[in-house]
Structure 1
Amino acid sequence: MSITSTAAGPTTREAIAASARTMFAERGFTATSVRAIAAAAGADPALVIRHFGSKEQLFLEVLGPTRAPGPELEGPLAELGRTLVAYVLDPARDAERRAYATMVQASDNEAVRATLRTAARTSFIDRLTARLPGADAAVRAELIGAQIGGLMQAWPTIEPLLGAVGRARAVDLYGASVQALVDGSH
C-alpha cells in the first residue's frame, strides 16, 4: 500500500527520492541498492520501481545533471574563462559539485553516461559553441567542457589548496587556462 501525501509527512515517492538522494551522494550509484533505498524510505522495494521505473531512472531524477541550470555564458568573451571557473568554485555550488562527481562515478552505466553526455551537450557545449568565434569553436567548447568537468571532479582534492592560495587566485590561474581555449590562442 502506498503512502499518500498528508499534512504530516511526505508521499512515498518523495520519501524514496529523499532517501535515494542521500544514499547516492554518500555511497555512489553502484553501492546503493533499491532495497536499501526502500528500507531507508520505509517503503517496499517494488514501490521504488513503480514510482521511478528503475534504479537508473531514480538516480537520474534525484541527482541528474538537468537539476542545475548551468553556468551563465553571457557577458564579455574576454572574461568567460574566469567567469566559468568562478562559477564552479563558488562555495554555494557544493551540492552541484557533489552531484556531478556522483554522476561521473556512475557513468559506467550506459543510461547514466548517455544522460550525462546529452545534458552536457544541451546545457553547456552547444550554448558555448554558439558563442565562440572561429571554425574550431565546437572542438574548443568540448575541451572547455572537459576542463570545467575536470575541475568539478577534482574538487575534493583541490579544496584544501583553495584555502592555501585563495579562491580568487585559483580563479585567476585556472580561468587563464580556460580563457586560452575561449580565445582560440595557439
Structure 2
Amino acid sequence: MTTPASGAAAQPEACATGPARRDAEATKAVIIRAARHLLARHAHADITLKAVAERAGVSAPLILKYFGNKDALFARIMSFEADAEALLDAPLDELGHHMVHHLLTGQAEHGADPILRIVFAPLHREQGDILRANFRTQVVDRLSERLDGPDAGVRAELAVSTLLGLGVMYGIARGQHVRGTPIAEIAERYAPGVQVFLTP
C-alpha cells in the first residue's frame, strides 16, 4: 500500500524540480548574454544591474539571487573558460576550420561571439586587465599546450590573431562582402590561414 503512494509522490517532485532547474539555467544564460552585450558596448563602471536586468527582461533582485552582486556576475562574464572549450573542440588537424566556422556561426546566429570580448578590453580599465589575463591563460595558453613542434606560444598567438581579425571584420566592422558570403565558403577560404600556425 505505501510503495505505490510513495512512488506516486516521488514522480511529481522529480518533474517539478527538473523544469525549475532548467528554467533557472535558462534565465542565468539570458542574464549572462545581456551582460556580455552591454560589456561589449560600455565601460564596466558604467553598466548597472538595472541595465542588465532591463536588457535580460528580468528584475535586478533576480540577478542578485543568481549571482550575488555585480562583481560576481562580471567575474563570470570575464571568464573565457567555457568559450575556449567550445572554440577548441576539434582534432588538431581540423582545428583551424572548426575555429573559423565556430566564430562565424556564433556571429551569424547570436550577433556576437564571446571570444571577441577581448577586443573591448581597453574600455574596462582594471577589469580590462582581468579580461586580458583570462584570455591569455584560458584561450591562447590552452591552445599553445595542444601544439606540437617549436614556437608553440608564438604560433598560438598568431592563430588567434588571425581568427580575431576575421571576427572583427565580420562582426564589428560588418564587412558587406564577407557577411554576404556563405559561412562554409568563408571557412574554406580562411581556415588554411589559421591552420598553418597550428600544424605548419
Q: TM-score w.r.t. structure 2 length?
A: 0.60
Task: Within 5 Å, give how 1:1-186 maps onto structure 2.
Answer: 18-19=30-31, 21-22=33-34, 24-26=36-38, 28-30=41-43, 31-37=46-52, 41-43=58-60, 52=67, 55-62=70-77, 64-68=79-83, 69=85, 70-76=87-93, 79-90=94-105, 94-95=109-110, 97-102=112-117, 104-109=119-124, 110-122=126-138, 124-156=139-171, 157-158=173-174, 160-184=176-200
Contact 2:118 2:135 in 1 (8 A): no
Give 1 or 2 for the bigger CA radius of gyration.
2
Paired-residue identity, %: 23
How many residue pairs end up in the alignment? 172
1:29–1:59 CA contact under 8 A, matched in 2? no
**Is there any run of 5+ residues in structure 2 with no aligned partner, and where?**
1-19
More helix by share: 2
Unpaired segments ≥5 residues, structure 1: 1-6
Residues 3-54 of structure 1 show CA distances to partners (whole Å, capped at 9, x for unaligned) of: xxxx7xx78xx9788456425415734252234346764346xx86786465
| Superposition CA RMSD, Å | 4.0
Partner Cα distance (2:118, 2:52) in 1: 17
CA–CA distance in structure 2, aligned partners of residues 146 and 84 of structure 1: 12
- Separation in 2, partners of 1:75, 1:95: 26
Which AA in structure 2 matches 1:66?
Answer: E
